[in-house]
């Protein structure tokens, strides 16, 4: 049985939750092609102050989620994924800050030059990094066609909620 960086294909699932009191907490789950966890990392909460909210405006959320949380998680993870998956295109610009291909889920393949089937869904890549799609074609074939690719995000959200709960309990 192979482990860690020797698995043939590793996927990273990156998401964040927002807690009204503590701010954003990001999580990155690395799995093998069957969805088995290889490593999990989460960030400390990041809560933008009012001045940052005003100055960043609509770019605040993508900045916090992508550049601050996402890049930090990818940098500190020990088991590097071949691909980082996002639930939406909200932080696809993360790809501009990391060397690992980044893609987001689409419900239907509408452009085969920028999108690729993966499990039951499709994924789309950053328009400036379309070579990532070609790099992933071979790997995508290793994913079972009936794989529920959104399920790992639920595991991450549950783990982050537990982390926030434990952190709140310690400070109380």
What ranges in 27-130 are assigned the alpha helix state H?
50-56, 60-62, 71-76
Hey, how many other C-beta atoms are within 10 angstroms of the C-beta on 74? Answer: 21
Prediction pTM value = 0.90
Domain spans in the chain, listed from the N-terminal domain onward: 4-171
- Residues paired with 103 in a beta bridge: 85, 125
% residues pLDDT > 70 (the chain):
93
pLDDT band at 16 (very low <50, low <70, confident <90, very high): very high
Question: Is beta strand 10-19 parallel, antiparallel or unpaired with respect to 83-86?
Answer: parallel
Q: Assess contact for 13 and 28: CB atoms under 8 A.
A: yes
User: Contact, 163 vs 28, CB < 8 A?
Assistant: no
Report the pLDDT value the prediction gives residue 9, as an integer from 0 to 100: 92
Using DSSP, state whether 159 is helix, strand or coil. Answer: helix
Q: Is the predicted pLDDT of residue 73 greater than 50, yes or no?
A: yes
């Amino acid at each position: 049985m192979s482990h860690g960086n020797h698995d043939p294909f590793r996927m990273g699932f990156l998401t964040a939750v927002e807690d009204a009191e503590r701010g954003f907490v990001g999580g990155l789950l690395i799995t093998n092609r069957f969805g088995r966890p290889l490593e999990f990392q989460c960030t400390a909460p990041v809560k933008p102050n009012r001045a940052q909210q005003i100055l960043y405006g609509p770019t605040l959320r993508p900045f916090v989620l992508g550049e601050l949380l996402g890049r930090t998680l990818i940098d500190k993870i020990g088991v590097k994924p071949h691909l980082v998956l996002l639930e939406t295109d909200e932080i696809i610009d993360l790809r501009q800050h990391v060397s690992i291909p980044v893609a987001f889920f689409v419900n239907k393949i509408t452009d085969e030059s920028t999108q690729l089937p993966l499990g039951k869904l499709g994924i789309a890549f950053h328009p400036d990094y379309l070579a990532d799609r070609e790099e992933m074609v071979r790997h995508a074939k290793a994913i079972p066609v009936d794989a529920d690719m959104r399920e790992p995000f639920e595991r991450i959200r549950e783990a982050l909620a537990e982390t926030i709960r434990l952190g709140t309990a310690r400070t109380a």
